[in-house]
Amino acid sequence: MTCYEIDFDLLQKIGPYFIGLCALTVGFKDIIINFFTKPKLVVDFTQDRKEYLHKLLFSPLEEITDPLKGIKYVIRQPGVNSRVVVYNTGKRAARNVLVRLEKISFYDEKDNLWEEIRYHPSSVKWSGEKGYGPVDITRDSFFFFDLIYFINETRDEIVKYYENIDKETINRIVGNPENYSGEVFWNVWIDLSYERGVPYKYYYEGKFKLTYVLSAENFEPFKFEVFVEWHKMKWSEPVISLHKIK
């Protein structure tokens, strides 16, 4: 039988360090566990996929009854809506996730900054939610938030959007172009139900940048930017890209 001698002098020297290491491990247990199991939030936008950029009818413009068929039609604003997805690729649910718009930066034709509008920052709307509050995103799941919408209130575009109704009927019920504003505009998704000193409509054409900050109860906040180029003549074809700020 092999015998091992115990070096009590060595034990006396390393004992306090070992006990200290054990105490540190116990003391920081929750921090260590949270580090390896925390949520991980990632933002993404893909221009050519309809879940990120799609046609959508907005608020009613008027209700019209077809005198020949006796059918009521609700004429709505033709529009295009864009959304950003937030993925949680971590090991734990992300709690109270909130995205806020900090500012919009406008650029001239030479890409020089000429104006900024600050939003002090304003909560944006999660898709499908009624209000503008935070959401929880479970692990291995995602949530979309509404980014920016584009609206065209010209008669020609209204007729085009109701292509499921035969042309004779839609031309008859839509009527005179003077009944509609003829405006083509865009705006961001923030709460505009009360006066807050920011525009209700933007008519700006060209390049602009949206700066956002994402935060959660159990995740470090980070910022990202969304670059947009938009022109009235191609109102339903904005060019959008997303970049995370390092």
Q: The whole model's pTM is what? A: 0.81
User: What pLDDT is attached to residue 168?
Assistant: 78
Separation between Cα atoms, residue 125 and residue 62, nearest integer Å: 26
Q: Which residues pair with 187 in a beta bridge?
A: 149
* Beta-carbon contacts of residue 124 (< 8 Å; ≥ 6 apart): 99, 100, 101, 132, 145, 146, 147, 188, 189, 190, 212
pLDDT category of residue 6 using cuts at 50, 70 and 90:
low
181-205 mean pLDDT: 89
Which span out of 21-25, 61-65, 155-159 was modeled with the highest average pLDDT?
A: 155-159
**82 vs 114: CA distance, rounded Å:** 25
pLDDT score recorded for residue 15: 57
pLDDT band at 33 (very low <50, low <70, confident <90, very high): very low
Write phi, then psi, for 68 (nearest 5 degrees): -85, -40
* Residue 230 pLDDT class (50, 70, 90 cuts): very high
Is the residue at 112 inside a domain? yes
Domain residues for the domain of 114 are 8-244
Is 238 a domain residue?
Answer: yes
pLDDT at position 138: 96
Is there a domain that residue 50 lies in?
yes
Residue 19's CATH number: 2.60.40.10
Cα–Cα distance measured from residue 52 to residue 81, given in angstroms and rounded to the nearest whole number = 8
Q: Is the pLDDT of residue 64 over 80?
A: no
Task: Evaluate whether residue 1 is within a structural domain.
Answer: no
Q: What percent of the chain has pLDDT over 70?
A: 85
Examine residue 89 and state whether it is found in any structural domain, yes or no.
yes
**C-alpha dist (Å) from residue 173 to 8, 67, 72, 102, 170:** 98, 8, 10, 43, 5
The residue to which tokens 């019920």 are assigned: 173
- Give me the pLDDT at residue 19, please: 66
* Domain-located, residue 110: yes
Distance CA 194, CA 183 (A): 22
pLDDT at 26 over 80: no
In a domain, 2, yes or no: no
Confidence of residue 35 (pLDDT cuts 50, 70, 90): low
Band the pLDDT of 50: cuts 50, 70, 90: very high
Number of domains in the chain: 1
The 10s digit of each residue's pLDDT in 119-166 is 888 999 999 998 899 999 999 999 999 999 999 999 889 888 887 777
Exposure string for 74-97, b = 16+ CB within 10 A, e = fewer: ebbbbbbbbbbbbbbebebbbeeb
